[in-house]
């Protein structure tokens, strides 16, 4: 079977943008066509990853609008919503479109416009994914993070500072990412003394609210060779779902969707966690970086904090995690985030990551929807 | 008002109930958790709350023991002076958050329920 290649990528500047969602999507989409050297009429499938453009700004039907705006007509178009993992789900959909033979050229664009809403309003849009018994108590995703972080720290006797070190690391990485929302270093003291948001987590344990868009171009490997010598191959991609009601999980520190999607992606790629050279993890909250490291086999249960404390996940460490700055520093425009993770892995594999370039042949991205409710894990390898 | 959990064919209990329970088993009855005490598994005090939610909002995941079967629930606390492992009991509240202030349709769900109070 022809393998699925990624031959181009783009992302807009993330942050507080004047543009609305359609303009953001078009900006990334056009840049991706240029980067891949693909003409609009060559696109056969268009996927648009977006969680809530209807709720945020009253704009629906974004796939059709973008298809027209980029002149990729009559390409098949589809919006992909899987909450915060919409981007990863878009990668899965794009991979399926090529692997099945349904398309020979698929454009994936993810984007969200959020910053025109107050923090409370944006938090409520995101919290609307919760079960009614959770929602009526005012449960939000940040509060899930606080509940889980306390349980993790108490159970494994991990130092509170180890979570803060995730924020410090990812902010430092974001300094070298021109697309990042925060290109600003923060020290441990700043993180530890920032205002409490969901005890024991503080402001700098959380990602910001963000506008932005990112895009990837997919095609069969046999077609990729007609466009470029430098491309990446999606060798593993899988998705899995955990309970909707978060407190029903047997172990609050285990995200079943991370474990299962990772296991399937490793099997598909015929790789082990030790083979991964660089990873983008969904650090919407610092505690999530620990849970994904453990769920994906990068650390034993309860020990991810030790690898962070040892500096092994720094950009010059044994396993660089979130070289892009992660959601924490780069920002988290919901539907764009999973695609932007793919952008970073692609850039690392083809040697286009600039000042944050690491030596990598295998990269992994884990995109988490809700509080581990839906998860997509993607493994890419550099083409030989 | 009750705090209704479902009991399934295999003996397991969940709160809330589901159409099909763990291991594919069918619901066979209900349990009113408001009649039981529970243990705090973890808690947080959330200061960044959405429209219509009290600020700060102390929350806990608690675990009930119903005749040897454990079942967990999440809910607001009556105080932020609580510790992991502490025993709490459900206390009825007519309105947990303002139904008119959030994104959800007020008629789409109920808004009363139980907070957890340290015993």
Q: What is the mean pLDDT of residues A27-47?
A: 98
**Distance from C-alpha of A380 to C-alpha of A268, rounded to nearest angstrom:** 11
In Å, how far from its chain's centre is CA A378? 10
- Range list of H helices, chain A: 21-36, 53-57, 62-69, 86-99, 119-127, 132-135, 141-156, 160-174, 188-193, 221-224, 256-269, 286-295, 304-309, 326-330, 334-350
**Distance from C-alpha of B84 to C-alpha of A213, rounded to nearest angstrom:** 41
Distance from CA of A250 to the nearest CA of B (A): 9
Q: What is the mean pLDDT of residues A31-36?
A: 98
Domain around B96? 37-118
Q: What are the residue boundaries of the structural domains of chain A, listed by start? A: 4-117+209-224
Strand partners, A110: A49, A214
Q: Is B30 on the interface with A (CB under 8 A)?
A: no
pLDDT at res. B68: 95
Transcribe A246-268 into DSSP letters: GGGSSSTT--HHHHHHHHHHHHH
Distance from CA of A160 to the nearest CA of B (A): 15
* CB distance A205 to B47 below 8 Å: no
- A44 secondary structure, DSSP code: -
**Distance from C-alpha of A223 to C-alpha of A218, rounded to nearest angstrom:** 10
Q: Is B47 on the interface with A (CB under 8 A)?
A: yes
C-alpha distances out from residue A177 to A169, A232, A344, B94, B119, Å: 13, 21, 10, 50, 52
Inter-chain CB proximity A138 and B59 less than 8 Å: yes
**Distance from C-alpha of A228 to C-alpha of A350, rounded to nearest angstrom:** 11
* CB distance A233 to A5 below 8 Å: yes
pLDDT exceeds 90 at position A378: yes
Cross-sheet strand order for the sheet of B27-32: B13-14, B4-8, B27-32
pLDDT exceeds 90 at position A349: yes
- B18 secondary structure, DSSP code: -
Transcribe A296-337 into DSSP letters: TTSS-TT-HHHHHHTTTTSTTSSS-B-TT-HHHHH---HHHH
Q: Which residues contact A310 (CB under 8 A, 6 or more apart)?
A: none
**Distance from C-alpha of A9 to C-alpha of A109, rounded to nearest angstrom:** 10
**Distance from C-alpha of A87 to C-alpha of A2, rounded to nearest angstrom:** 23
pTM: 0.97
pLDDT at res. B1: 82
Task: Give me the percent of chain A exceeding a pLDDT of 70.
Answer: 100
- Interface test mutation site (partner A, options B14, B49, B64, B95, max chain A beta carbons within 10 A): B49
pLDDT exceeds 90 at position A384: no
Chains A & B: contacts with CB separation below 8 Å: 120
pLDDT exceeds 90 at position A5: yes
| Cβ atoms < 10 Å from Cβ of B69 | 13
Q: Based on the structure, what is the number of domains in chain B?
A: 1
Give residue-wise pLDDT tens across range A216-255: 999 999 999 999 999 999 999 999 999 999 999 999 999 9
Chain B residue closest in CA terms to A206: B48
Q: What is the mean pLDDT of residues A128-138?
A: 96
* CB distance B111 to B97 below 8 Å: yes
Q: Which residues contact A3 (CB under 8 A, 6 or more apart)?
A: A220, A221, A233, A234, A235
Give residue-wise pLDDT tens across range A157-210: 999 999 999 999 999 999 999 999 999 999 999 999 999 999 999 999 999 999
Q: Among A371, A31, A353, which Cα is nearest to A174's?
A: A353
Q: What is the mean pLDDT of each run of 10 residues along chain B (119 residues)?
A: 94 96 95 98 96 97 97 98 97 97 94 97
**Distance from C-alpha of A320 to C-alpha of A333, rounded to nearest angstrom:** 23
The pair phi, psi for residue A360, each rounded to 5°, is: -145, 135
* B52 part of a folded domain: yes
**Distance from C-alpha of A82 to C-alpha of A240, rounded to nearest angstrom:** 11
Instruction: Count CA within 13 A, CB hemisphere, residue B38.
Output: 28
* CB distance A339 to A194 below 8 Å: no
Residues in B 58-117 with any Cβ partner in A closer than 8 A: 59-61, 72-76, 84, 96-97, 102-104, 108-111, 113
CB neighbour burial string for A242-263, b if at least 16 within 10 angstroms, e if fewer: bbebbbbbeebbbbbbbbbbbb
Which member of A128, A131, A137 has the closest CB to residue B59? A137
The pair phi, psi for residue A27, each rounded to 5°, is: -60, -50
- Interface test mutation site (partner B, options A127, A134, A138, max chain B beta carbons within 10 A): A138
Inter-chain CB proximity A252 and B110 less than 8 Å: no
3-state helix, strand and coil shares in percent for chain B, rounded to the nearest 5:
10, 45, 45
pLDDT at res. A1: 74
- Is the CATH number 3.40.47.10 carried by domain A4-117+209-224? yes
Inter-chain CB proximity A133 and B102 less than 8 Å: no
* CB distance A90 to A338 below 8 Å: yes
**Distance from C-alpha of A372 to C-alpha of A240, rounded to nearest angstrom:** 10
Strand partners, B36: none
- CA–CA–CA angle B9, B15, B18 (5° rounding): 55
Q: Among B97, B98, B43, B36, which Cα is nearest to B70's?
A: B36
């Amino acid at each position: 079977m022809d393998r699925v290649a990624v031959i181009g990528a783009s992302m807009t500047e993330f942050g507080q943008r004047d543009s609305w969602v359609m303009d953001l999507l078009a900006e990334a989409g056009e840049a991706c066509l240029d980067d891949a050297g693909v003409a609009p009429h060559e696109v056969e499938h268009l996927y648009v990853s977006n969680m809530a453009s209807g709720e945020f700004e009253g704009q629906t039907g974004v796939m059709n609008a973008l298809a027209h705006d980029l002149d990729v007509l009559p390409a098949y178009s589809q919006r992909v919503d899987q909450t915060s993992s919409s981007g990863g789900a878009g990668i899965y959909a794009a991979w399926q479109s090529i692997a099945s033979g349904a398309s020979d050229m698929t454009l994936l664009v993810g984007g969200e416009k959020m910053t025109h809403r107050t923090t409370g309003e944006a938090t409520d849009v995101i919290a609307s994914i919760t079960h009614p018994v959770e929602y009526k108590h005012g449960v939000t995703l940040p509060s899930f993070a606080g509940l889980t972080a306390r349980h993790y720290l108490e159970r494994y006797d991990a130092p509170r500072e180890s979570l803060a070190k995730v924020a410090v690391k990812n902010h430092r990485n974001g300094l070298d990412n021109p697309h990042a929302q925060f290109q600003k270093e923060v020290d441990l003291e700043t993180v530890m003394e920032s205002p409490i948001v969901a005890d024991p987590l503080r402001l700098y344990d959380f990602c910001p609210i963000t506008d932005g868009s990112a895009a990837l171009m997919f095609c069969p490997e046999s077609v990729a060779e007609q466009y470029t010598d430098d491309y990446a191959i999606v060798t593993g991609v899988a998705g899995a779902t955990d309970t909707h009601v978060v407190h029903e999980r047997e172990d609050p520190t285990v995200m079943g969707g991370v474990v299962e999607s990772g296991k399937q992606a490793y099997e598909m790629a015929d790789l082990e966690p030790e083979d991964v050279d660089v990873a983008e993890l969904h650090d919407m909250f610092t505690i999530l970086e620990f849970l994904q490291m453990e769920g994906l086999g990068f650390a034993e249960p309860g020990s991810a904090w030790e690898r962070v404390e040892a500096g092994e996940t720094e950009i010059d460490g044994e396993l660089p995690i979130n070289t892009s700055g992660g959601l924490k520093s780069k920002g988290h425009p919901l539907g764009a985030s999973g695609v932007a993770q793919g952008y970073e892995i692609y850039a690392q594999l083809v040697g286009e990551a600039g000042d944050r370039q690491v030596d990598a042949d295998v990269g992994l991205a884990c995109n988490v929807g809700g509080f581990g409710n839906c998860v997509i894990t993607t493994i890419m390898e550099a083409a030989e | 008002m009750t705090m209704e959990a479902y009991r399934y064919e295999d003996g397991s209990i969940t709160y809330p109930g589901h159409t099909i329970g763990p291991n594919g088993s069918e619901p066979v009855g209900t349990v009113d958790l408001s009649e039981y005490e529970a243990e705090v598994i973890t808690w947080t005090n959330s200061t960044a709350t959405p429209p219509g939610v009290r600020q700060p909002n102390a929350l806990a995941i608690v675990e009930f023991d119903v005749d040897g079967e454990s079942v967990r629930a999440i809910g607001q606390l009556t105080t932020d002076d609580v510790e992991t492992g502490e025993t709490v009991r459900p206390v009825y509240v007519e309105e947990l958050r303002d139904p008119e202030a959030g994104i959800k349709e007020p008629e789409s769900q109920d808004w009363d329920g139980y907070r957890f109070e340290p015993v």
